Amino acid sequence: MDVTLHLAQDPEADALLGRSPLAALVGMLLDQQVPMEWAFKGPRTIADRLGADDLDAHDIAAQDPDAFVSLLSEKPAVHRYPGSMAKRIQQLCQYLVERYDGDAELVWKGVEDGRELLRRLEDLPGFGKQKAQIFLALLGKQLGVRPKGWQEAAGAYGETDSFRSVADITGPESLTKVRAHKQEMKAAAKAAKTARK
């Protein structure tokens, strides 16, 4: 895995995401309730604070939980909720150590069926169906991981030429389009909720 991603809109953070399967998974895990760029810059910030060039699942899983919370809480914090996210990242890394010998890429490497890959992603701690589908779309659209049926398994996020999620961000222009789509979805959801009252 060595591609150029543009999710953090920061060259060093994006370089790490493009070469490190674990960094990409951690970025996806952090992508909730904060701006996308903030979430995907998180893995680089964590690596820097650990004094490393990359994230290591064995190392993170073995960290003292309180010390790891402190590491994520340092200013600027890695996430709006550094305590809960520190716990989730450690749970993810512990799972990867137990199931995949700490190698995040083994979650998808050699998987030949999109539904099986979606199931594996959904099994990851902190990954529900939507997050798993978005990450599957990111794997297929930008990281060259395209098992049979991957687009169908990714649902709407797998559609070609869409601007629904991080899977579709290739630069500032597409980021703006994805943001606009998300705002439309929020407005539609709000209108539907109001209509039901």
97-110 confidence digits (pLDDT tens): 999 999 999 999 99
pLDDT tens-place string over residues 117-176: 999 999 999 999 999 999 999 999 999 999 999 999 999 999 988 888 888 888 888 888
pLDDT reported for residue 1: 60
124 phi, psi to nearest 5 deg: -70, 135
Cβ atoms of 1 and 19 within 8 Å: the answer is: yes
Residue 197 has pLDDT above 80, yes or no: no
Q: What is the mean pLDDT of the chain?
A: 92
Q: List the structure tokens of 131.
A: 């997050």
Q: List the structure tokens of 134.
A: 């978005």
Q: How confident is the model at residue 187 (pLDDT cuts 50, 70, 90)?
A: confident
pLDDT tens-place string over residues 79-99: 999 999 999 999 999 999 999
Cβ atoms of 20 and 105 within 8 Å: the answer is: no
